[in-house]
Structures are given as structure tokens and as C-alpha cells.
Structure 1
Amino acid sequence: MSNTPTTNSHQEEIDLGYLINKINELFIKCLKLLYAIISFFLKHKYIILLLIVIGIAYSYFKEKNAATLYDNQAIVVPNFESVHYLYDKIDAINFKIGEKDSLYLKSFLGEDYKRLKKVEIEPIIDMYQFLSKSRENIDIFRIITQNQDITDYKEELSNNKYYKYHKLNLKIFGENNTEGVVSKVLDYLNNNEHLKKYSNIYKENNELQIKEHKKMLAQIDSVLYSIYTSKNLSSNQGVQISENPYTHFLIERKGMVLDDLLQHQIQKIDFESAIKIVKIDYNLIDNSKFRVPSKIKYPLLLVFLYSLFFFLRYGYSKLKKIANSN
């Protein structure tokens, strides 16, 4: 029993010594590997320098001749119940771009069909704007979100129709005549006979609503004026609006009619087209993603491929020796 502590201490010293030896062996192997890498590059330095020069030259040539990919970001308003149509149409365009369907793309882009790489769209989620439209929207939102998380509700595609504004991004190669390419895409999206028929009905109804609301305002003002000039009001006492029980209701009603008229006048502007452009910014470069500069990427790639060839050849020779020894 008295020798147990000494034995344990001796065992710990052996384990510690073994661990130190292993660490030293690993360190020596790393140094050997580093030396082998340095030796390889020194031995092939002229070829590697040549590969670096070729890589840099190729990157300059590629940058000079390759068109830059630009973002063209717009905010649009889909009118006449066209939200799902718009999203489906953009999916179809992206599918045709992926399939390289030149006949389809040429039908609306002409000779610029190769320049369009991708079209992206997403709703601009504004819950306050949606809920403030009407009491009905609040009831719809309450029913939908009873068994659904608010985040899931925002991201669900079927709810896009409730948002007025949508962000449209067209990724286009080159910056020459970008406005023309964007215009062709928008004309194509608006070229739908069903939406054109809807457009005529919506515009006619909106004009009628504006006229009717203006008539209602004139009628309310007429009634208010008659109340102010009524014989029931004494000229000596001045105007006392509170004496008539209908005055407060009429003033409140006038405010509601004015709000409705404002919305219809805004719709008159929005109803210019099925997919109405609010604003657009052309030829923007996306700097949010990290990109390795081509002057570094191509030289490193050539050197890596050259080194990989010798590494694979070395590995093959080692495997061959093992196979022959067995």
C-alpha cells in the first residue's frame, strides 16, 4: 500500500514523457512537410513564376472582355390582382434562362436575350400599411395568424398579394442600353390580354368612384351650409354647431369621404399599368458578397493544379511501393 503513490507518480511521468515525445514527433513531421513544400517551390520556381504571370495576364484579358453583371433594382406595384401572375411569370423567365431557351427569350428581348441572367422579386413587407387599410384587413390578419407564427406568415408566398409594393431586381450583363432591356422585360410582363381587360374595368370604376365621392363632398358641404344658415340659429348668437345633432356626424363623414377620395386618386396613378414602376435604379454592383479578385484567383488556381499533379504522382508512387511490397 505504501508503494502505490510512487507507482502512480512514475506512471504519470511515463505518460507525460510519451505525450511530449509524440508532440515532438508531430512537430518534426510538420517541419519536414514545410521543408518539402518550400523545396518543391524553390525547385520549380521558374515554372511557378511563369504560371503566376499567365494567371495575371488571363485575369486582365478576362476582365477586359467579360461584361460586368449589374443589378437593376426597381419597386413595382402589381395592380388588378396580378401578384401571383407576376411571380409565376418571373419564375418562367428564370426557368427559360436556365434552359437557355433562346427562342423564348428572343421573343421579347431581341438580340439582348443573352444579357439577362436572372430576375428576382420579393414583397416589401409593411404590416402597418396593410393593417391600416381597413378593419377587414385586421380581421383577416387575426384569423390567419391564430395558428401561425408571425414570421411564417410574413414569409409565406400566398400572403404576397396583401402587400402593395414589391422589390424587383434584374441582373443584366453590361451597362449599355440597360434601360432598354429593363423596358422590354416590363413590357413583356404587362402584355397580357386578361390584365388589359381587367385594367379597363378597374380604371372605369375608379373614375366613377372619384366622381361619386366629389358629389358626396358637395352634398355634405351643402347640408352643412344649410345648417349654418338655418333660421334656428340666431344671428346675434353666432354659429353654434353643437346645437344640431347631425353636424358632428356630417363632419366625421366628410373626413371619411376625403380619405376614400385620396385613395382613389392614388389608385388612378397606380392604375397606369398592370405592373406599375414606382422607381428604378440602373447598373448597381452588388458588393455585399465576398469575391476573390481574379488577379489573385487565377494565378493561385494554376499553381494549385500544377502542385496537385505532383502530389498525386507522389501518392501514386507510394501506393505502388506498398502494393509491390505486399
Structure 2
Amino acid sequence: MSTNSQDQEIDLGQVFSKIGGFFTKLIERFFDFIFFLKKKILVIIVLFITGVVLAFLIDFKVYKHEVSVIPNFGSNEYLYKKIEQINAKLKENDSLFFKQLGIKRYDKIKEIEIDAYPAIYSFVNNKDQENNFDFIKLMAEDGNIEKIMKDEITSKNYYHHKIAIQTNGVFNKEEFITPILNYLNSNPFFETQKQVYQKNLKEKISLNDSLINQIDNLILLLSTNSSPGSISISEKNSIPELIEKKDKLIIEKQKLLNYEIINNQIIKEESSILNIREYKPLLLNNKVLFPLILILIYLLSYFLLATYKKQSERIKK
């Protein structure tokens, strides 16, 4: 029993000795690294300053711009194809194309994208597309409504869409957003549809105004031109009905006037937010990232070279 206890004590002693040795070597290596940095501090400072200068020379201030638009007259697919075309022209560096659009600093535009706002309820309740609800029901048979909301076919038919643009530097609206919107609104087919739609709206508004005037005249006739004793019960009952009908016509007129404003362009601009500065996390900031990369490359190169020399001497011996 005593022999086993002694063996166990020896084994434990060896284990603790090895652990202690490991931590001792670790501490030694750590301080070796600290003293190495102290020795090479001048080189590291030079590399750090070089990295910061490079970051200032190469790094551009990236700004985001967002334009909220409403595609009218079924121009959703057309809108997406046009944005794809503009993005392709950016990658091709097609100066003639952007010159024709009236965009001078097109080389400062990094990317242009379009996404739909995921408004499933407005999509389902869109009166211009009465089959949307049945369409969603059909596609939702597997129960994955979130997948359907993000589906490209569904999202393209949403009401609101966001055109996102990235640029190097600050831009004003007239420099690139206005020319792009003018280009999107220059389609002859949809322009004809717009004119027909606007004409129909004006006729509906005119008819609506005529009906409101007729109701006003009838109410005036029933309430003022007749003495109380001469108004029949049916006539008395008809006045509230006429007022109710007038209220509905007024609400309808407000909707028609709203439609007239919204549908006065093929691609209607709802709002624009320009020059949103993008701030990267500290470690992803080029003014920090570049110096760290240069210092890391130097350290790796130094240790690889030192290791190579040691191994070369070992092989020679």
C-alpha cells in the first residue's frame, strides 16, 4: 500500500512539475514577445503611421442614399429591370450612358439596388390587384408565410419599394437621383397608360363634383323651399340619406384626388433621404485595420525568417 502511495505521489509530482514548466515557458515567451516589441518599437510606430496614411489615401467616405418609390400602372417588373440595367452600366463604366442621363460623377456611384418594403397587408388589400389574396392563399399552402413574403415574385408586386444607392462622397439630389427618376419615367408605353388613367380620374372627379352639387340642391330644395307642413315623411327621411350619400361622395373624391397625385408619374417618388454616412465598427475601420495588417505581416515575416534560419543551421549541423 505504501509503495502505491509513493508511486501516486511521484506521478502527481511529475504532473504538477510539467504544468509548472508549461506556465513558466508561457510566461517567458510572453515577456520575450514584449521585449521584442520594445526592441522593434520604432519599426512598429513607422508601420502604424504608414497604415494610417494609406487608409486616408485609399479610404473614401461612403454614403448611402434611399429613395422610396411607388411603381404605377403595373410597372413593377419594368422598375426592377431598369435598376438592374443601371447597375450593370456602372460595372461596365459606360460613360456615354450616364452622360445621356445627365449624371457627371457616375464614377463615384458604387452600387444601386432595389428592394421591396415587406408590406404583405397592403399587397393583399390592393384593390387594383383583386386576386392578390387568392394568390397568397395558394402560395401559402405549405404554411411558410415568411418565405412567401420574401419571395422575389411576391415582393416585386408590393406597393412601396426602396432604391438604395452607395456613393463615395456627398451628392445632392439633382446630381443623380433626379436624372435616374427622369430616366425611369421615360417609357412611352407606361406614359400612355398614365395619360389614360389621369383622364379617367379627372372624369370621375368631375362626375363626383356634379353629384355633390345635385345633392346640395336637393337638400336645399327640401329644407327651405317647402313649409314644414308640406314636407312628406318620405321626403323627411330622404334628407339624412342624401347627407350620407354626400359624405360618401366627399370621401370618394378625397381618394380620387389622392390617386391623381400618386399616379401622375410612372415611378412616383414618395420620399428621399440623402447622404447617410456609413460608420464601420472600430476593428473594421481602415484607419485601424491597415496599421494592424502591416504590423501583423511584419511580425509573421520576422518570425518565419528567424525560424527558417534556425532550421537551416540545424540541417547544416
TM-score under structure 1 length normalisation: 0.77
How has the CA–CA distance of structure 1 residues 214 and 178 changed in structure 2, closer, same or farther, with 3 Å as cutoff? closer
- Alignment correspondent of 2:154: 159
Question: Residue type of the partner of 1:92?
Answer: Q
How far, CA to CA, are the matches of 2:7 and 2:96 in structure 1? 80
Q: Assess if the C-alpha contact under 8 Å between 1:170 and 1:182 holds in 2.
A: no
Partner SS state of residue 35, structure 1: helix
* Alpha-carbon distance in 2 for matches of 1:243, 1:143: 50
Correspondent of 2:228 among 221, 230, 235: 235
The amino acid across from 1:300 in the alignment is: L
Question: Is the 2:103–2:175 contact (alpha carbons within 8 Å) kept by the matching residues of 1?
Answer: no
CA distance in 2, matches of 1:280, 1:146: 38
Given that 2:80 and 2:114 are in contact with CA atoms closer than 8 Å, whether structure 1 keeps it comes out as yes
5+ residue gaps, structure 2: none
Inter-CA distance 295–143: structure 2 relative to 1 (3 Å threshold): closer
What is the deviation of 1:242? 9.7
Q: Secondary structure at the match of 1:164?
A: coil
Q: For residue 53 of structure 1, what is the aligned residue in structure 2?
A: 49
Cα distance change, pair 307–266 in 1 and its aligned pair in 2 (3 A)? same
Q: What's the counterpart of residue 44 of structure 1?
A: 40
| Structure 1 match to 2:168 | 173
Shift of 1:275: 1.5
**TM-score scaled to structure 2, two decimals?**
0.79
| CA pair 101-314 structure 1, distance change in 2 beyond 3 A | farther
CA contact (8 A) 1:76 1:275 kept: yes
> Counterpart in 2 of 1:309?
301
How big is each residue's C-alpha offset from its partner over 1:65-96, in whole Å with a ceiling of 9 and x where there is no partner? x6422112222121121112112221222233
User: Match for residue 290 of structure 1?
Assistant: 281
Whether 1:111 and 2:104 are equivalent positions in the alignment is yes
Q: Which residue of 2 aligns with 1:78?
A: 71
Deviation at 1:109, TM superposition (A): 4.7
Alpha-carbon offset, residue 18 of structure 1: 5.3
Tell me which amino acid in the other structure corresponds to 2:263. F
> What residue number does 1:187 align with?
182
Unaligned runs of 5+ in 1: none
Match of 2:28 in 1: 32
* Residue 23 (structure 2) pairs with residue 23 (structure 1): no
Task: Summarize deviations over 1:243-287 as a string: whole Å, max 9, x none.
Answer: 74x777666554544333222211211123212212212212123
Query: 1:132/1:192 Cα in 2 relative to 1: closer, same or farther (>3 Å)?
Result: closer
Alignment match, 2:271: 279
Whether contact under 8 Å (1:179, 1:282) holds in the other structure is no
> Any idea what SS the aligned residue of 2:265 has?
coil
Mapping of residues 110-149 of structure 1, within 5 Å: 110-134=103-127, 136=130, 138=133, 140-149=135-144
Change in 2 beyond 3 A, CA 1:262/1:297: same
Residues 111, 167 of structure 2: 8 Å contact kept: yes
Partner-residue secondary structure (3-state), 1:302: helix
Q: Are the structure 2 counterparts of residues 312 and 235 from structure 1 closer, same or farther at C-alpha, using a change threshold of 3 Å?
A: same
Identity %: 27
Partner residue of 1:211 out of 193, 206, 221: 206
Across the aligned residues of Structure 1 and Structure 2, the Cα RMSD in angstroms comes to 3.8
Question: The residue matched to 2:104 in structure 1 has which SS?
Answer: helix
Distance 1:202 1:98, change over 3 A: same
**Cα distance between partner residues in 1 of 2:95 and 2:13:** 71
Match of 2:193, SS state, is: helix
Q: Which amino acid aligns with 1:121?
A: I
Distance in 2 (CA, whole Å) between partners of 1:282 and 1:83 is 23
